[in-house]
Amino acid sequence: MRRLPVYLLLDTSGSMRGERIEAVKNGLQVLVSKLRQDPFALESVWISIITFDREVKQLLPLTALESLQLPEITTPESGPTNMGAALELLCTKLDNEVIKGNDTQKGDWRPLLFLMTDGKPSDLAAFREVVPKIKNKNLAALVACAAGAEAQDSFLKELTDTVVHLDTADSSTLMSFFKWVSASIGTGNKSVGTTEEIQLPPPPAEVHVII
């Protein structure tokens, strides 16, 4: 049975403190609960959570949906947003955790990546260096979410064509984003169109997908 690795890269820098990080935690709870109500997801989805602020940490190694426990997420008072370093760590994890197909073993599905930030990469040089590497990782989908007015889409657009912009980063908007993520993960189980493959479900109304 192939696994579907899902990597969540979450901004935990100082600006996320307070309502935003609480909204993210709630969102993760909802995401996991929703996926646990989906038999398709329970057969294949494995989740990993990487957070980035001054430090970059893999809070949850790639874990089967049925057995994972959400880690405690904390934010520092202030400090940089090391998104580049987070993507660098992601590359290592993709290499180590995702099973590649070979002549004797079926590999995992191509991984999904959801990245969420309310700012921009502080380590811009590292960020620009890692972008081509990520693009080479053959991800099935790479969705970047820019939450709130201060979040800058332009950097994220260097990383992926699918940038979701949330005008506000309040709890209900973030929640709708996480619901959308859970629906996106479930698309593998949906009908496939005759024209082209459906990749993602339509985003919730208050979200703008920037192509």
Partner 1 sequence: MSNIITVTAQDGKSYQYVDNGDPMQGGMKDVYFSPDKSYVVAFFRDKQDFNSKERLNNIVNTFRDRIFNQPGGEYWKDLFCWPNNIVERDGKTGIIVPVYQKKFFFTKGYNPGAAQIVSIAGKEKEGRWFASPQFRSRQFKLHLDESELGDWFKFCLICIKIARAVRRMHAAGLAHSDLSYKNVLIDPITGSAAIIDIDGLVVPGKFPPDVIGTPDFIAPEVMATKHLPKEDPARKLPSIATDRHALAVMIYMYLLYRHPLRGGKIHDTDAQRDEELSMGAKALFIEHPTDTSNRPRLDQVKPTHLPWADVNKIPYTVCGPYLKELFEKAFIDGLHNPSLRPTADEWEQALIKTVDLLQPCQNKNCDQKWFVFDNTTSPCCPFCNTPYRGQLPVLNLYWSRKPGSFTPENHRLMVYHNQYLYPWHVNRNIYPNERLTDQQKKPVGYFVFHNNKWQLVNQTLTSLKDVTEGKDIPINSMVELTDNKQLLLSQEEGGRLVVVQLVNN
Binding site for partner 1 (CB under 8 A): 1-2, 33, 36-37, 39-40, 42-43, 66-67, 100-110, 140, 183, 188-195, 198, 201-202
The H or E element containing residue 97 is helix 83-97
Task: Give the integer Cα–Cα distance in Å for 210 and 119.
Answer: 16
Least distance (Å) between residue 99 CB and partner 1:
9
Is the Cβ of residue 85 or residue 94 nearer to partner 1 in the bound state? 94
The pairs formed by 135-139 with CB atoms below 8 angstroms and a separation of 24 or more are: 135/159, 137/91, 137/94, 137/111, 138/110, 139/110, 139/111, 139/112, 139/113
Least distance (Å) between residue 127 CB and partner 1:
28
Is the Cβ of residue 66 or residue 150 nearer to partner 1 in the bound state? 66
| Residue 75: closest CA among 7, 148, 22, 149 | 22
Is the Cβ of residue 205 or residue 211 nearer to partner 1 in the bound state? 205
Least distance (Å) between residue 141 CB and partner 1:
12
Residues paired with residue 143 on neighbouring β-strands, in sequence order = 114, 162
Least distance (Å) between residue 106 CB and partner 1:
6
Task: Give the integer Cα–Cα distance in Å for 4 and 109.
Answer: 5
Is the Cβ of residue 126 or residue 209 nearer to partner 1 in the bound state? 209
Is the Cβ of residue 125 or residue 193 nearer to partner 1 in the bound state? 193
Least distance (Å) between residue 155 CB and partner 1:
29
Tokens 């082209």 appear where? Answer: 196
Centre a 10 Å sphere on the Cβ of residue 203 and count the other Cβ atoms it contains: 20
